[in-house]
Amino acid sequence: MKDTANASPAWDELHRRHVAELQQRAERALSLSGHEALLIASGVEKYGFLDDRPYLFQPNPHFKAWAPLCAHPDSWLLVRPGHKPLLVYYQPDDYWHVPPAPPTGFWVEQFELRIISAPEQALQHLPASAQGLAIVGEADAALQHLVPNNPQPLLDSLHWQRAVKTDYELQSLRQASRLAARAHLAAREAFLGGGSEAEIHRAYLVASGHTDRDLPYGNIVGINEHAAVLHYQYQDSTRPTQPRSLLVDAGAQVHGYASDITRTWSFGGAQAEAFEALLAAMEQAQLALVDEVRAGCDYRDIHLSTHRHIARILREQGLVRMSEEAMLAQQVTSAFFPHGIGHLLGLQVHDAGGFLASEQGGTRDKPAGHRYLRLTRDLLPGMCVTIEPGLYFIPTLLRQLRASSAGAAVDWARVEQLLPFGGIRIEDDVVCRAQGAPENLSRDAFAALG
Ligand code: GLY
Ligand code: MN
Ligand code: MN
């Protein structure tokens, strides 16, 4: 992630309008929660137990929403109605590490700046009393009387509003998709060249221009059976003796905004025919599901629609000999598609606010039996969501299916044939438009690469 990436005039203007919108949203949230000002702590570095090595710093998303400052602990932002936001910018005189650069870049003009060289100096620039303050941050960021209180009504309002992206955010998300698309193609090349998971991961990093530290989440790089592990967390350094399939779920970050893209590839060959047919069917289903991203649509319906697609594919591909209705009723599709269709995307890969019933809070329930769905809201223009259907051969879920009353309807010989390929997930980042078909950031990014 490049904190000061791309200082073109377009970013200046996009960011100016973005901050104006955030100011309005903050004022609205403050009036709803009855606070006078919003104080946001960027966060603090955390250390391993009995150790002096810090964990990778994770900024408060509410802080990086205002400016592309992702590696800036001990900084603060004060937002007051009718004032320019005040940024207290921590820049220590540190010769062990590279301190944050002097504040420059397209974002600087939108803030009243105070530079501090010690964390306590923030107190000189911030309110002397916490009275009337909504202080948003992690508990560890507390500084004397400035103790985060994270008022729920304020957070609910901010999280509700944040699902709709500004043009600055959309442009950052587009760029994050472009970086990731390029890297996914490099990963595929490394796989087709016989590379190990670790080599594919490194090819991805080189092409994205990221290091591991910059990724919005740990890359998922699964060859063969590893493609069946939804969040496979290792990277085998041994080259596969018989490569068959590759699932890469990996993104990139621009200005602190994430992409989250999954592609599944076949290595080819005569044995891959059934897998490739399944891959083609999933590709068609994924595109149809992306097309369901429309203003006013209940995202839960897209999830339920995915189960219908999976049922049809299981029947058409000869995996399950049951009616699609019966498959749904007996939760057969959940054995093959055991996660949600997607989530909000933005400052966090699984962005906050997915279950809010309204700006005033409350929870909008998941459909019964679908515990892993991460978004239950109606879609609004400007929302960015992922659409990520999957179909996997997961041994533990297949054992349960085999033992169930639906087990007899499964063609287990065909399942055995596909097990060594692990599974399929295809994931795009999609923006809901006011009218008509959605903008598919990920497909657009791949298309631009030719
Ligand atoms: N990369 C995690 C997810 O797709 O939700
Ligand atoms: Mn993903
Ligand atoms: Mn995702």
Give 263 Cα–ligand 3 centroid separation in angstroms: 12
User: By percentage, how much of the chain surpasses pLDDT 90?
Assistant: 98
**Ligand 1 atom at shortest distance from the alpha carbon of 374:** 5
Q: Which two tokens stand for residue 263?
A: 């592609």
Ligand nearest, relative to CA of residue 261: 2
How confident is the model at residue 447, as a pLDDT? 98
**Ligand 1 atom at shortest distance from the alpha carbon of 343:** 5
The tens digit of pLDDT for each residue in 230-257 reads 999 999 999 999 999 999 999 999 999 9
Average predicted confidence (pLDDT) for the chain: 97
**Ligand 1 atom at shortest distance from the alpha carbon of 250:** 1
User: By percentage, how much of the chain surpasses pLDDT 70?
Assistant: 98
Rounded mean pLDDT, 66-95: 98
CA angle 383, 387, 388 (to 5 degrees): 150
pLDDT at 1 > cutoff 90: no
How confident is the model at residue 4, as a pLDDT? 45
pLDDT at 17 > cutoff 60: yes
- Which residues does 218 contact at the CB level (< 8 Å), separation at least 6? 212, 233
Rounded mean pLDDT, 217-232: 98
**Is the CA virtual torsion 6, 10, 14, 19 positive or negative?**
positive
The tens digit of pLDDT for each residue in 275-305 reads 999 999 999 999 999 999 999 999 999 999 9
How confident is the model at residue 9, as a pLDDT? 46
Q: How many CB atoms lie within 10 A of CB 342?
A: 28
Q: Which two tokens stand for residue 197?
A: 């998971």
Give 320 Cα–ligand 2 centroid separation in angstroms: 27
Q: Which two tokens stand for residue 300?
A: 């839960």
- Contact 3 CB / ligand 1 (< 6 Å): no
The span from the CA of 74 to the CA of 71, in Å, is 10
- Contact 388 CB / ligand 1 (< 6 Å): yes
How confident is the model at residue 450, as a pLDDT? 85
pLDDT at 377 > cutoff 90: yes
pLDDT at 124 > cutoff 50: yes
The span from the CA of 1 to the CA of 176, in Å, is 9
- Which residues does 316 contact at the CB level (< 8 Å), separation at least 6? 281
Q: Which two tokens stand for residue 388?
A: 């990520």
Q: Beta 384-387 vs 390-392: how paired, if at all?
A: unpaired
How confident is the model at residue 7, as a pLDDT? 44
Instruction: Tell me which residue of 125, 127, 131, 100 sits closest to 111, measured CA to CA.
Output: 125
Is residue 380 within 8 A of residue 373, CB to CB? The reply is no
How confident is the model at residue 129, as a pLDDT? 98
Is residue 431 within 8 A of residue 441, CB to CB? The reply is yes
Task: Give the mutation target among 177, 184, 217 for probing the ligand 1 site: most ligand atoms within 8 A of CB.
Answer: 217
The tens digit of pLDDT for each residue in 42-62 reads 999 999 999 999 999 999 999
- Contact 217 CB / ligand 1 (< 6 Å): yes
How confident is the model at residue 3, as a pLDDT? 43
How confident is the model at residue 400, as a pLDDT? 98
Is residue 413 within 8 A of residue 360, CB to CB? The reply is no
**Radius of gyration for the chain, computed over Cα atoms and rounded to the nearest angstrom:** 24
The tens digit of pLDDT for each residue in 380-429 reads 999 999 999 999 999 999 999 999 999 999 999 999 999 999 999 999 99
**Is the CA virtual torsion 176, 179, 182, 184 positive or negative?**
negative
**Ligand 1 atom at shortest distance from the alpha carbon of 262:** 4
pTM: 0.97
3-state secondary structure of 212: helix
Rounded mean pLDDT, 26-54: 98
The tens digit of pLDDT for each residue in 132-179 reads 999 999 999 999 999 999 999 999 999 999 999 999 999 999 999 999
Give 226 Cα–ligand 1 centroid separation in angstroms: 16
Q: What is the DSSP letter of 283?
A: H
The full 3-state SS of 49-94, as one line of letters, equals CCCCCECCCCCCHHHHCCCCCCCCCCCEEEECCCCCCEEEEECCCC
CA nearest ligand 1 atom 4, residue: 260
